[in-house]
Structure formats: C-alpha cells, structure tokens
Structure 1
Amino acid sequence: MKIAIGYDHVGYILRKDIIDYLETKNITVIDLGAPSTERTDYPIYANKVARAVNSKEADLGILICGTGIGISIAANKCSGIRAVVCSDPYSAKLSREHNNTNILAFGSRVVGSELAKMIVEQWLMAKFEGGRHQNRIDQIDAIQKGEFHE
C-alpha cells in the first residue's frame, strides 16, 4: 500500500510520528508536505495529495494542518476525493466503512501523536461496506458533477 501524506507548517512536527508509524506497518509513504515549520498555505498540500490519490500514485492520503478542517475542505474541492477530518478513531473507522473516504485529515492542534496513530490505524483497518452506502457515494459523485436530481 502507498499513502501520500501532506501537511502545512503546523502539521510539520506531527508528520514525522505518522510517517514512522506507517513505515512500521510496511506502508510506502509519499511525502508531499511542507519542507519546514515556516508558514505556508495548506491548500497547496491538499491539492498535491488529492492529485496523487486521483492519479493512483497513492492508494490513500493523509493530511495534517492545525485542525484538519481547512486542509480537508481544500482536498474535497478535487473531483473524486472524499476527505474526512477526524479527531477520534470511531469516526475514522465509520468514514471508511460508510463513506469510502480516501483521504484522512486531522489537526496537530487537536490530537496528539498517540491519538493520531490510533485514528490512522482504525481508518486503515476499516473496509468500505458497499451496499446501501454505495448509492449514497453515487449521489455525492453526482452532486460534484452537477448531475444530482432527487
């Protein structure tokens, strides 16, 4: 498995713990994040990770900023991306099972290293359930394309 990870200056410190964690799970990490803690703009890294996921360069993506909110909003502007910001493992798990999320975001000002690893673990272990959930994913895709009709 390959995971693209992106982060802004606020996520720069936490990114090391997440990358190390992923590598202990034998996951290949594509690091697309900020080069330092010097101020930068999170949409840059959201776009890079979303493009890597859409092009199949990466199977999934992880994004880190201060809260996870802004970077997930930016990623969700890219067609085909279902990014979720999670601050707990249960929501991360359900986001994969019910919403087939392909990018996980969280905030380094919201969760610490150990909680972030638990969130990532639950997200990675979960599998999309399909069934009734697929119909909803199809509706979301239609909304994104401007083709949704009730």
Structure 2
Amino acid sequence: MKRIAIGCDHIVTDIKNSIREWLMEKGYDVVDFGTYDKTRTHFPIYGKRVGEAVASGKFDLGIVMCGTGVGITNSASKVKGARCVLARDVETAKVAREKFDANIIGVGGRITGIGLIENIIEEFLNTKFDDSKENVEVRDYIDGLISEKANKGEYFEEERKKWNEGYYHD
C-alpha cells in the first residue's frame, strides 16, 4: 500500500485529521506532518514539510490543505521534485497524475466539501502516471524549473523572518 505524507495549516486541522483517519482505514500508511491543532500557524511550513517528504522518495504521494488550498499548494511546489497540483474536482486530480506525474494533491478545506475532497484524493491515489515519451518530457521540463536553491530552504527564509516579526495576521 502507498505511503502518504499529509499536512495542513491551523484552519483545516479537523478536516486533515478526518482525511488521515479515512485513509488509514483504507490501509494506507499515512504520516502527519502537521499542524496538529488550531493554534495559529503559517501554511508554507507544512507545505514545505510534505514537499520535502515526497521529494525525498520516502513517501509515494502527498496531500496538503489549507483554507483555499492555494497557499499550501504553492509552497509545496517550491520543493525540487515535488509536483503539487491544486484540485477542486476529480478530473483535475486524474489528469494531474496521469499526464504530469503530480505527486502531491492540494485541496481547500474551506471551499470544498469533505465528500468531494475524499473523491478527489481517491482518484489521485488510484490514477497511475502514463509514462509516454511526451508526458515524461513535460514532467522533466517542469522539474527543471525549480532550482536546488529551493531544497536548501532559501525560498522560505523571507517568510520565516516575516512570521517571526509578526508580519502575518489572521
């Protein structure tokens, strides 16, 4: 069974916990990269954690979520080797896996219902990459757009500094 990395921000912790339990009941090996409660936090931390876990090869696929899914999906995508897609429908999840070899799915817990989130994730997990020459070339080209700078954490240094200075507010 696939090994899944999952993470979220404080806004959707309950939804992430529900999805984690649902996946474990299906037999998936799920590791939770946080956050674990509703204490205010910042999404790039958890997108980066899931992105690094999947890009390392220790996990088959990843799931990230925040209120809209936009922020955490973008942060996960900054990690070299992480191909994260934001999906609000089942077809997007399927095409992302099949044609682009997406390895992380992002969803918005505040704008997508739990039933649809489950359907999106199920399609994502069950779809295989079509490794045609064209699809492999596109995937490899996209992977080449992220520099090694990303995996050194340099993309996130400015965000960490702003967070510590109290720049972000609810």
Q: TM-score, normalised by structure 1?
A: 0.93
Q: Which residue of 1 aligns with 2:68?
A: 67
Shift of residue 39, structure 1, vs aligned partner: 1.2
If asked which structure has higher relative contact order (CA below 8 Å, sep 6+), I would say 1
Shift of residue 24, structure 1, vs aligned partner: 1.9
Distance between the aligned counterparts of 2:101 and 2:30, measured in 1? 20
Q: Which residue of 1 aligns with 2:167?
A: none
Q: Which residue of 2 aligns with 1:82?
A: 83
Q: 1:139 aligns with which of 138, 141, 156?
A: 141
Which structure shows the higher helix fraction? Answer: 2
Q: Which residue of 1 aligns with 2:9?
A: 8
Indicate the percent of aligned positions where both proteins have the same amino acid.
Answer: 38
Structure-to-structure mapping, 1:1-150, within 5 angstroms? 1-131=2-132, 132-145=134-147
Change (3 A) 1:55 1:142: closer
Distance between the aligned counterparts of 1:76 and 1:30, measured in 2? 19
Gaps of 5+ in 2: 149-170
Compare CA radii of gyration and give the structure with the larger one. 2
Gaps of 5+ in 1: none
Calculate the aligned-residue CA RMSD, in Å.
1.3
Distance between the aligned counterparts of 1:11 and 1:35, measured in 2? 10
Q: TM-score, normalised by structure 2?
A: 0.82
Deviations 1:59-98 (A, max 9, x none): 1110010011100110111111100010111110110001
Shift of residue 145, structure 1, vs aligned partner: 4.1
Q: Which aligned segments of 4 or more residues in structure 1 are displaced greater than 3 angstroms?
A: none
> In the comparison of the two structures, how many residue pairs are matched?
146
Shift of residue 25, structure 1, vs aligned partner: 1.6
Letter in 2 for 1:144: I
Shift of residue 17, structure 1, vs aligned partner: 1.8
